[in-house]
Structure 1
Amino acid sequence: MSAIPTLDIRRYDTDRDAFVRELGAAYREWGFAGIRGHGISNELIDGAYERFRQFFALPAETKMKYHLKGTGGARGYTPFGVETAKDSRYPDLKEFWHVGRELPEGSKFADVMAPNLWPVEVPGFRDYAYGLYTALDALGSRVLRALALHIGLPETFFEDKTNLGNSILRPIHYPPITSPDVPNVRAGAHEDINFITLLVGASAAGLEVKSRAGEWVPFTADADTIVVNIGDMLQRLTNHVYPSTTHRVTNPPGEAARKPRYSVPFFLHPNPDVVLDPLDSCVTADNPRRYDTSITAHEYLLERLREIKLV
């Protein structure tokens, strides 16, 4: 079985044509790739993880101060057993926090992108969380430059479509599995909603990606690697040239299941008013246009949040 590739993004500056070709091929085949050489410091990643662990260790009543009912968990805390993978019987076994973009004063998107909440109980939470947010946002933009070139678009094609995107940093805590009658998937099989997702420093094995042949392929990245995958919005915009691949988080076997798992995905979203119509360059005789109705990124997001029971 072939493996999901890992590529060094520094080659974008030193060996651009080959890097773009290899990265594009990885995404066309898998919808997933590992990115190393990204330049995000271990101090920032480890410091953010430590603050997130401290937050999740707080008493439930303290965490619930930051749960905003009726907002779909857009900012702040979402407790266990709420989010449910589309078409799944069971809610996912996780709690999480959402950090969003800090908008400029008077932004036209202020009505759909709420201000952030910050837990006063954890010193340094804001600095580390938003520091990681901005670092992953910049890395995501670099990946999108390569993806744009691969499909014949200008390198900067995505810049003005994501500079005010409703992107989310989501620290997740999966608790230890202590009961034998729990379903064996911490996060059910799903595709992501957004343009691309960047997953930094998953602290345990468990991520599995569904191959085109229908097999579940484990993808545990090295410590210096960030996993980047395609979401449904970019799949739609590129008329499925870049596929949004089904993936899940399984429980590890044996004693490892009794350990908590933490992960921090960054969901890079387009600006809310971007229209997700298939790009002309991605519509061909072999790949005819798959969508006839127009939809904005914000409308698409709301539709999907309803499906996974967040709104």
Structure 2
Amino acid sequence: MHYFLHSERELFVIIDPFLWSSIASGYRLDGADRIFSWRNGSLTDQYNVNVHFVTQTVPTGAHKALVKTQKYHLLQKGKGLQNEGKTMEDVNGYIQMIDFSAYSLGTTDIDEAAVQALSENLMHSFTTSGFAYLKNTGITDEQVTSVFDVADKFYDLPVDVKQKYRRNETDFHERHGWVCMEGENLGKLNGLQRPPDLKELFNIKPPLSGGDSWPSEVPEFEETCMDFFNQAHDLAKRVLELIARGLGTEAAEFLDMFKFIGKGRNSSHLRSIRYPPVPETVKENQVRCGEHTDFGCITLLFQDNAGLEVAKGDGEFVAAPPIADTVVINIADTLQRWSADKLVSTKHRVMLPYTPETRGTTRRCVTFFTHPDFDAVMKCLDGSDKYPPIRAEDYVASRLRKMYL
């Protein structure tokens, strides 16, 4: 089998085969996403194994077996991680990379066969891992960075200034506004007894309700965030349409249940999150974001640094690192219920960084949480009675009570 290397952003570790049994038994290598063996001066077998950050010391002598550690993207003739014309690629043995170019934002010349193939690829991921990376969506890293930067200006304000924009948490609806450091505990949704999450965040949820406001200290905050809200909303609608197609549901009728996003009676919102460098002292069992599943239908995640981990069926977690010009997308609880469990809402978390070097870094992300309208009645889309009908507003309120009470 012929291989060649192409410079890319992903990090791979090429190792001697004798280390394989040790690593498979639980040893972890820092920063490695994939493992390949090196024999007789050439790359051979590709092992479909996820590798997390360092949690144990690599066995004595292992450093002698490390042949090369570089930022490479491996291409394998006929069976690579990336082949010309390939629309779905393996990222870490669990989460797939899907090329969204057939239905990207701004695309008007629609190839029906390509869109159908895209829908099938999405359904494969959403019925297995519940997660996927999307590339060629029409949203660029530059647009994401603009939101990161304007949010940083807000987070850097004094706490007493940020308090003016604190989110109202009294009515069990997703609301616009700032949540202070340790102001949320997502692990409670999964019944975990952990300290609050080590993060702060700002929800962007138009139209603003009484008492909500935009931070006047950062004049460009509203325009930048709303521009991105609209982009993410457009992308989410396209994904929802493809999901409806994959479920055999009439797309127009399905999308009609999301018509109030950004207009009123709907919980969809954009969220900026900043995870600060880890302080010298943290509470016992504290993490950046506790293990949880999301409330809504789908979530779009844009991230700048590593930390996201996604649960597999066996209870192990795999890393979902940032990849340039991609968005991570996942199914959430509402859509799993609505699809009668055909689509999978998967637990995920953000742990504290595993190494001293990475503990000193900030992690930023922007998420778009997509919900149906308040009055949408969720009846199982396959016509079954696996779950009783429930209004979307009532379902979300029940989840918020669990987190804040």
Q: Report the TM-score when normalising by structure 2.
A: 0.69
Q: Which residue of 2 aligns with 1:88?
A: 192
Does the alignment pair 1:148 with 2:244? yes
Letter aligned with residue 297 of structure 1: A
**Root mean square deviation, CA, Å:** 1.9
The answer to whether the 8 A contact 2:126-2:344 is kept is: yes
**Cα distance, 1:172 vs structure 2:** 0.8
> Residues 133 and 39 from structure 1, CA distance in 2 versus in 1: closer, same or farther, beyond 3 angstroms?
same
Match of 2:379 among 277, 283, 292: 277
Letter aligned with residue 226 of structure 2: Y
Uncovered stretches (5+) of structure 1, i.e. residues with no partner = 104-112, 284-288
Instruction: Point out the more displaced range, 72-81 or 254-263.
Output: 72-81
**Cα distance, 1:102 vs structure 2:** 2.7
Does the alignment pair 1:24 with 2:24? no
The answer to whether the 8 A contact 1:99-1:116 is kept is: no
Higher percent of residues as strand:
2
Instruction: Point out which structure has higher relative CO (alpha carbons under 8 A, 6+ apart).
Output: 1
Letter aligned with residue 241 of structure 1: K
Does the alignment pair 1:258 with 2:363? no
Q: Following the alignment from structure 2 to structure 1, what is the Cα–Cα distance between the partners of residues 199 and 282?
A: 16
Amino-acid identity (%): 33
Letter aligned with residue 102 of structure 1: P
**Cα distance, 1:260 vs structure 2:** 1.7
**Cα distance, 1:239 vs structure 2:** 0.7
Aligned pairs, number: 293
Q: Following the alignment from structure 1 to structure 2, what is the Cα–Cα distance between the partners of residues 115 and 223?
A: 38
Q: Which residue of 1 aligns with 2:291?
A: 189
The answer to whether the 8 A contact 2:178-2:203 is kept is: yes
Does the alignment pair 1:136 with 2:225? no
Q: Following the alignment from structure 2 to structure 1, what is the Cα–Cα distance between the partners of residues 361 and 143?
A: 23
**Cα distance, 1:184 vs structure 2:** 5.1
Q: Which residue of 2 aligns with 1:52?
A: 151
Map 1:40-189 → 2, pairs under 5 A:
40-71=139-170, 74-85=175-186, 86=189, 87-89=191-193, 90-102=195-207, 116-164=212-260, 165-182=266-283, 183=285, 185-189=287-291
Q: Deviations over 1:110-147 (max 9, x none)?
A: xxx66852101112100110111110011000011111
Q: Deviations over 1:171-223 (max 9, x none)?
A: 011111123443352100000001110012x1210111111222201111312
**Cα distance, 1:36 vs structure 2:** 1.2
The answer to whether the 8 A contact 1:148-1:157 is kept is: no
SS at match of 2:147: helix
**Cα distance, 1:35 vs structure 2:** 1.1
SS at match of 1:122: coil
Q: Deviations over 1:147-178 (max 9, x none)?
A: 11111112334321112132111101111112
The answer to whether the 8 A contact 2:168-2:175 is kept is: no
Q: Which residue of 1 aligns with 2:83?
A: none
Q: Which residue of 2 aligns with 1:211?
A: 312
> Residues 149 and 168 from structure 1, CA distance in 2 versus in 1: closer, same or farther, beyond 3 angstroms?
same
> Residues 114 and 142 from structure 1, CA distance in 2 versus in 1: closer, same or farther, beyond 3 angstroms?
farther
**Cα distance, 1:70 vs structure 2:** 4.0
Uncovered stretches (5+) of structure 2, i.e. residues with no partner = 1-48, 50-92, 104-109, 261-265
Q: Report the TM-score when normalising by structure 1.
A: 0.88
Q: Following the alignment from structure 2 to structure 1, what is the Cα–Cα distance between the partners of residues 202 and 276?
A: 15
Q: Following the alignment from structure 2 to structure 1, what is the Cα–Cα distance between the partners of residues 218 and 236?
A: 27
The answer to whether the 8 A contact 1:44-1:131 is kept is: no
Q: Following the alignment from structure 1 to structure 2, what is the Cα–Cα distance between the partners of residues 92 and 181?
A: 11
Letter aligned with residue 201 of structure 2: F
Instruction: Point out the more displaced range, 15-24 or 56-65.
Output: 15-24
Does the alignment pair 1:302 with 2:393? no
Q: Following the alignment from structure 2 to structure 1, what is the Cα–Cα distance between the partners of residues 224 and 211?
A: 17
Q: Following the alignment from structure 1 to structure 2, what is the Cα–Cα distance between the partners of residues 126 and 256?
A: 31
